[in-house]
Chains A and B, each alone.
Chain A
Amino acid sequence: MKSLIENRFGLLVLVLVALLALYGTAAATRPDRPGERTAGAAAQPRRVPISSVTAVCPAPADSRVGVVTPPDGGGGPGTATITAEGTGTGDGEGDAGDAGDAGDKVLDTLTAPGRLWQKEVPAGSGPVTVAATGSSAAGLEAAQTRRETSGGQRGLAGVRCVEPTASTWLVGPGPAAADVRLYLSNPDPARAVVEVLVYSGEGPVAGDTGSTIILKPGESRTVDLKELAPSPRVMAVEVRTAAGRVTAAARAIMNGGRGVDWLPAAAAPATRVVVPGVPGGGGKRELLVASPAEVDTLVEVKALTPDGTYALKGRELVDVPAGSVVSVDLSGGIGGQPAALVLTSDTPIVAGLAATGTGRKPDVAFTAGAAPIDLGSVVADNRTDGKRGSRLLLAAPEAEGKVSVQVLPRSGDAPEAFELGVAASRVKEVKLPEMDGSFAVVVLPLPGSGPVYGARVMDERIKDGLALTVQPLAAARTWALVPPITESVAAVLP
């Protein structure tokens, strides 16, 4: 050893050999970069059943309320309590919360998921609140449908019962064209401070005194939009809260007996909006595009039909001024085919569509921009018998979609679920099977499916014309994606 060190080149060689050995070790143990990365990001979001849902059906008087929880929403106990608020005021001033407690009436308590609960709510009832926990909550869906064959509210009018949120967009006719009423409910234990912003064809309607509404816990209120903005023919409404949460729904009774329906909640402003559920057949189709942005925008409109993408002659591009709503008549454009519309723009937009049935006394129906049903969707109240028909309009704007459709009847055994595919950039119309009485339907995307948007169209041939209602498929409240989470003080650093 000593002689090796004393040798002039011995030490150099020794060190070089050692360095080479270290290099070899380091090179051999070097991990592959991508492998390391995936190991680091191995944690994927976890799907967990939702354990608590509260939904409010805004005005179920004289309507049929359906409530359903899909059967596979996770085990364990759970109940859904359906409560009707007492002394319902169909059109009067909002009822005070303190009176509400006294008049509340529990309609039913559900413990077994997988079965549709349905009830005709008598006139005079206030909003119905469905509060579910545990296994009854996962996927809970509720809807109200009103059917009138005559009178001022002749037609089919259905709406999904929604959860309280901080922001709701509604797009439809304005007070100049219809009697539009806003139904607000605050089922939370906290006070809600609500602002109602109205956008008209001429721009945003300057909020005067009445645009801020304070709802006490449990309070519901009805607002006639004429008081806020009497003149718009078309409008977009944002109901947002400065504090608390609120459910918002609007019913439009068209002037001159031209039908009635609820405005479905539209997807929040985005640069790409898919409006599913443009029903086929005759009648008027009117697209409403609202831009809450502060600059004018150009919206590209594309229609998807069962035959493929359909060019809208002369209406591919719609100019939407800042803060206003533009109406585009598509009646001739689609040619009576069931369709979905894909709108893209530079600034976020909100979109809705009004469809009119055929006949001497037509009915109206509304659809709106919707979210893809990545986690599935449930429609609580459907009917198919004789003159009544229900069908799903599924659209796959990007890649081919594959879904399974499960029917949940009110009683009796559920039929086998069936699977179907939707070709890319197409719309598929699926007629729901004939069932005895009302039923619910569960649409679940299958693995490998592209994003699927959809809507349920229900119509009925009644005397003098076709009554119809459309409900865009909303993401089911079955699952929540729980993101992987770690505790790290590094969260304080950007």
Chain B
Amino acid sequence: MSITDSRRTHHTVTAIVVSHDGARWLGETLDGLLRQTRPVDRVVAADNGSRDGGADLLTRTLGSDAVLALPRSTGFGEAVAEVLKRLEPGGGNEWIWLLHDDCAPDARALEHLLRAADADPKAGVLGPKLRDWMDRRLLLEVGVTVDRTGRRDTGLEAREFDQGQYDGVRDVLSVSTAGMLIRRDVWDEVGGLDPFLRIFRDDLDLCWRVRNAGHRVQNVTRAVAWHAEAASRRRRRITVSGAHPRRLERRNALFVVLANLPTGPLLRALLRNLAGSVVRAVILLLAKQPANALDEVVAFGSVLAHPWRLLRARRARAAGRKQRYNAVKRLLTPPGAGYRRLVDRVQTYLSGGPVESAGRHHAVVRAPEDGEELLTDDAGATRRIVGDPGVLLFAALLAVTLVAERGLLGGARLGGGALVPVTGGAADLWRLYTEGYHPAGLGSDAWAPPYVAVLAALSSVLLGKTWLAVSVLLLGCVPLAGLSAYAATRGIVSGRWTRVWLASSYALLPVATGAVAAGRLGTAVVFVLLPVYAALATTLLSGEGRRARRAAWALGLLLAVGTAFAPVVYPLTLLLGALAALAFPRRGVGVSVAIAFGVPAVLLLPWLVQLVADPGRFLLEAGLHRPELVDPALPAESLLLLSPGGPGTPPLWVTAGLIAACLAALLMRRNRMVIAIGWGVALFGVLVAVLAGRITVTSPGGDTAAPAWPGVPLAFAALGMLVVAALTAGRVTEFRAAGGLRRLAALLVVAVAFSTPLLAAGMWIVRGTPGPISGNARDAVPALVAANSGGGERTLLLRSRGGALTFTVLRGRMPLIGESDIPSPDGPRELVGVAAAGLVSGRGGDDARVLAAHGVRFVVVASPVGPEVSRALDSQPALARMSLSRELGVWRLTQPVGMPPVPPGDPWHARWLWVQALLVCVVAVLAAPGSRDEDGPVQDRPETERELAAR
């Protein structure tokens, strides 16, 4: 201390160069060192067992006396300590200048550093401004700080150029050891670098201790050094420790922070780090960096697992820690920064960007691609979003939908057509999906259809409201399909307004309005997903390795969802996928296609087996199969004009403009191959639609035999045509520019093309949604019955429709949305059916006894209640009437009702569900956009620039 008070003290500078396999940079480093305008007084080098001739270079340059050969495993701190041990103190105010072998100082660096030291006698440590070795204008460091979670913070933007914006001499928390000028007495006072921190954060620890000892740490920007960051950029191996560098880095960071914070902030930091580590580990897991997640947890664990080590370190740092904390606190990154960084990271993750693990100051932002404007979130987001054609399209479609569906919104219960009135909540759906035996109806041990799980998950997200989930998917399928078609084609079709045309034409196809009117939830979901399939398939076939693989996983997952809702998607895409795998003989495409089609097969396994056993069901979809919802004799022209028939479809001529535009695209000379493929897909879709519309399919319960509704294959065909037309839309602009007749033709084509979405929207608005679907579906179970069915008694519901009688067995409530797809077992269904018919016929006999044996307590006749039926039921001695009107008749069995026993569940059911959940998680993680992997093996941006010896 006595030396520091004289301003005019003579300085002596000892430069210490530590080298380890750094011959590539060493020459320039030594060059810079020896050409200082203020020459160093002594130069000593330590060579940690270099194998690339670094030692020879040092010896040649500095002479053999000045080079200390050390074993390969020596750490940086140890090497410096070793050198200083053998170096008698120099005269006057002695300084030590630490240099890495990959850190070349500017010729005037030392001069500026010493000048700053003169200016502030309290300065104990001084560091130069570090710039990049390769790109010499790039800033690396102007001092480093840390937050309470140990996260390093340079205060710089990524790839920030040095324009003098940080210039000046500034107090900082720490400077790097590369180019660090430290007073020897200060070094001795604080004990030098902590040998426990062999690599990473030893500089931080040292500077913190220097600060606690009452000295200043300053960054002098006029002094410049170029640093290659060879260790952290993996340009040489770091093998100082067996542990993973990241784990080591996290451990040391935590250790340094916990060792240097006073007790109060320490406890808070401990809690924050505990929570932070868990959150970070989860995020890293989601980002498909399980090794890093493990590192995170292990690092924290290893700090906590050695409390004595930490306590020892804290004791050693006790002096001045509390007194100086106020000064240190100002230099730490404020606590809010960590939270902001987390939010940033989640946002980036959600928007599909790279997950960067070093915070915003190290993020390398990818240049946004065309169309990504929807997803990126930054400063001008609001303005860009409002002005984006995709958002405008979504808003317009939403408005059209709201007006057209005016009769459906705000009702008590959505239902009708193929959709069973929506009752229950997410918990009911989860129970339905997970239970091994379904007591609803006549009881069944069949597997619940997998789409129940999808709906249950969505309902859970929407606060358990199943009706909301169904409404969003079914009623909102038009705007959602528009949005998905717009966003999904960004990589395929250029030109935003072309994509607007494509998306609006697609979203307003007759398939969509028909699906809404008939309550076809399955088609609605697949309709939204189809453009996404197309986009993912394009990535799968043309993207580079990892992206293609990720797209394959995502396609597999979404195909599983789509198949669960409308199984026809699977064979339809499987055939095209197989063709694509043959036509694109690129490496990896075969595997990707196998992944994309293997995932749905595995995820839907037990249910898919049932489907394969009854292949006709591939043409059906979620919900009821009812003959009145399909046109049994669909005209051929209807199929070619993409109208699947049934309720809610507009007149055929609405889509004529679309077909004409797509045919016109065939005349264009460009993209011939793509056009041929697109039309091939379209023709294939129409062919499947013809088949589906002509094949009579029997529903799983065997109650209905009617042709399937060809909505999905027609949507498929339409998408193919639309892409073809959109790809050639560029020619329209050229024609328009050409003027004359061509300009007229271009305007005509645009008018014809846009006629389809405009006409479809207009027709839909004018007609509304008449459908069988209704916003106020009635509860078929009278309150009287529901109140008396507490013990699980069943209700036989009879309804005569068109001369035929239908019945179903309910269990005190309306069926849930998936229960309608679980067929009743044949035996009980047959028995109860015969008994129900017998009751209605009034033949007497023991029909009531059969019902009682199946747990049926109530017989409900739904509107219209025919006089014959009510008379017949009245004439049954075993039935007692509870109420009768023209709308509803309720009878009660007079004899005691026996509840059939519940069979024991299959233990494999639950096990498979767990496996399924696990598989979904794994596939989701594999499909999710993960860490930036374009840079090769570098997973983290440099945390510490430190080269170090190794074995």
What residues of chain A have their CB less than 8 Å away from a CB belonging to chain B?
5-6, 8-9, 11-12, 15-16, 18-19, 22-27, 29-33, 36-37, 40-41, 43, 45, 48-54, 133, 137, 163-167, 188-190, 241, 243-245, 268, 480-494
Which residues from chain A contact B683 at a C-beta distance below 8 Å?
15, 18-19, 22
Which residues from chain A contact B125 at a C-beta distance below 8 Å?
none
Bound complex: CA A484 to CA B806 (Å) = 8
Contact partner of A23 (CB less than 8 A), chosen from B640, B699, B703, B814, is B640
Say how far B719's CB is from chain A's closest CB, in angstroms.
Answer: 16
Which residues from chain A contact B675 at a C-beta distance below 8 Å?
11
Chain B contact-residue range equals 35 or more
Of chain A, the residue at the smallest CB distance from B894 is A190
Q: Is B842 an interface residue (CB 8 A)?
A: yes
Is there contact, CB below 8 Å, between A11 and B676?
yes
Q: Is B421 an interface residue (CB 8 A)?
A: yes
Bound complex: CA A487 to CA B881 (Å) = 23
Which residues from chain A contact B837 at a C-beta distance below 8 Å?
482-485
Is there contact, CB below 8 Å, between A486 and B694?
no
Is there contact, CB below 8 Å, between B636 and A26?
yes
Is there contact, CB below 8 Å, between A23 and B637?
yes
Is there contact, CB below 8 Å, between A188 and B877?
yes
Bound complex: CA A188 to CA B703 (Å) = 35
Contact partner of B624 (CB less than 8 A), chosen from A31, A54, A245, A490, is A490
Bound complex: CA A235 to CA B805 (Å) = 39
Bound complex: CA A29 to CA B710 (Å) = 15
Is there contact, CB below 8 Å, between B679 and A494?
no
Is there contact, CB below 8 Å, between A32 and B633?
yes
Q: Is B405 an interface residue (CB 8 A)?
A: no
Of chain A, the residue at the smallest CB distance from B800 is A483
Cβ contacts B508-531/A at 8 Å (1 or 0 each): 000000000000000000000000
Q: Is B701 an interface residue (CB 8 A)?
A: yes
| Seed contacts A22-B639, A490-B626; 18 additional CB < 8 Å A-B pairs | A12-B663, A15-B663, A19-B640, A22-B636, A25-B636, A30-B694, A133-B845, A244-B880, A483-B837, A485-B807, A485-B837, A487-B807, A487-B829, A488-B808, A490-B704, A492-B421, A492-B814, A493-B772
Which residues from chain B contact A133 at a C-beta distance below 8 Å?
844-845
Is there contact, CB below 8 Å, between A492 and B663?
no
Bound complex: CA A492 to CA B704 (Å) = 15
Q: Is B612 an interface residue (CB 8 A)?
A: no
Is there contact, CB below 8 Å, between A51 and B845?
yes
Bound complex: CA A189 to CA B797 (Å) = 24
Most buried by B among A52, A165, A243, A493: A493
A-B contacts, 23 of them at CB < 8 A, read A8-B667, A19-B683, A22-B687, A31-B633, A40-B627, A40-B706, A41-B802, A50-B842, A52-B845, A165-B875, A166-B875, A189-B877, A245-B875, A480-B838, A482-B837, A484-B804, A487-B809, A488-B806, A491-B797, A491-B807, A492-B421, A494-B778, A494-B863
Contact partner of B690 (CB less than 8 A), chosen from A11, A22, A268, A494, is A22
Given the known interface contacts A189-B894, A493-B777, the answer about A487 and B703 at a Cβ–Cβ threshold of 8 Å is yes
Given the known interface contacts A22-B639, A50-B844, A482-B841, the answer about A487 and B880 at a Cβ–Cβ threshold of 8 Å is no
Bound complex: CA A120 to CA B628 (Å) = 60
Which residues from chain B contact A480 at a C-beta distance below 8 Å?
838, 841-844
Which residues from chain A contact B832 at a C-beta distance below 8 Å?
487
Bound complex: CA A33 to CA B631 (Å) = 9
Bound complex: CA A24 to CA B806 (Å) = 38
Is there contact, CB below 8 Å, between A487 and B806?
yes
Is there contact, CB below 8 Å, between B666 and A11?
yes
Which B728-774 residues have a C-beta within 8 angstroms of A?
772
Bound complex: CA A53 to CA B845 (Å) = 9
Which residues from chain B contact A12 at a C-beta distance below 8 Å?
663, 666-667
Q: Is B416 an interface residue (CB 8 A)?
A: yes
Q: Is B111 an interface residue (CB 8 A)?
A: no
Cβ contacts B794-827/A at 8 Å (1 or 0 each): 0001111011111111100011000110001000
Say how far A218's CB is from chain B's closest CB, in angstroms.
Answer: 12
Which B855-901 residues have a C-beta within 8 angstroms of A?
862-863, 867, 871, 874-875, 877, 880-881, 894
Top-9 shortest CB links A-B: A52-B844, A26-B636, A480-B843, A166-B874, A51-B845, A480-B841, A488-B703, A489-B820, A27-B636
Contact partner of B862 (CB less than 8 A), chosen from A27, A244, A491, is A491
Say how far A483's CB is from chain B's closest CB, in angstroms.
Answer: 5
Is there contact, CB below 8 Å, between A30 and B421?
no
Most buried by B among A5, A137, A482, A487: A487
Bound complex: CA A49 to CA B843 (Å) = 7
Say how far A430's CB is from chain B's closest CB, in angstroms.
Answer: 29
Which residues from chain A contact B693 at a C-beta distance below 8 Å?
26
Which residues from chain A contact B702 at a C-beta distance below 8 Å?
486-487
Say how far A372's CB is from chain B's closest CB, in angstroms.
Answer: 13
Q: Is B930 an interface residue (CB 8 A)?
A: no
Q: Is B840 an interface residue (CB 8 A)?
A: yes
Is there contact, CB below 8 Å, between A484 and B805?
yes
Say how far A436's CB is from chain B's closest CB, in angstroms.
Answer: 34
Is there contact, CB below 8 Å, between B672 and A11?
yes
Given the known interface contacts A23-B636, A26-B639, the answer about A489 and B881 at a Cβ–Cβ threshold of 8 Å is no
Bound complex: CA A48 to CA B835 (Å) = 13
Is there contact, CB below 8 Å, between A8 and B669?
yes
Bound complex: CA A164 to CA B805 (Å) = 25
Which residues from chain A contact B819 at a C-beta distance below 8 Å?
489
Of chain A, the residue at the smallest CB distance from B690 is A26
Contact partner of A190 (CB less than 8 A), chosen from B808, B814, B820, B877, is B877
Given the known interface contacts A15-B666, A30-B634, the answer about A492 and B640 at a Cβ–Cβ threshold of 8 Å is no
Bound complex: CA A188 to CA B893 (Å) = 13
Cβ contacts B48-65/A at 8 Å (1 or 0 each): 000000000000000000
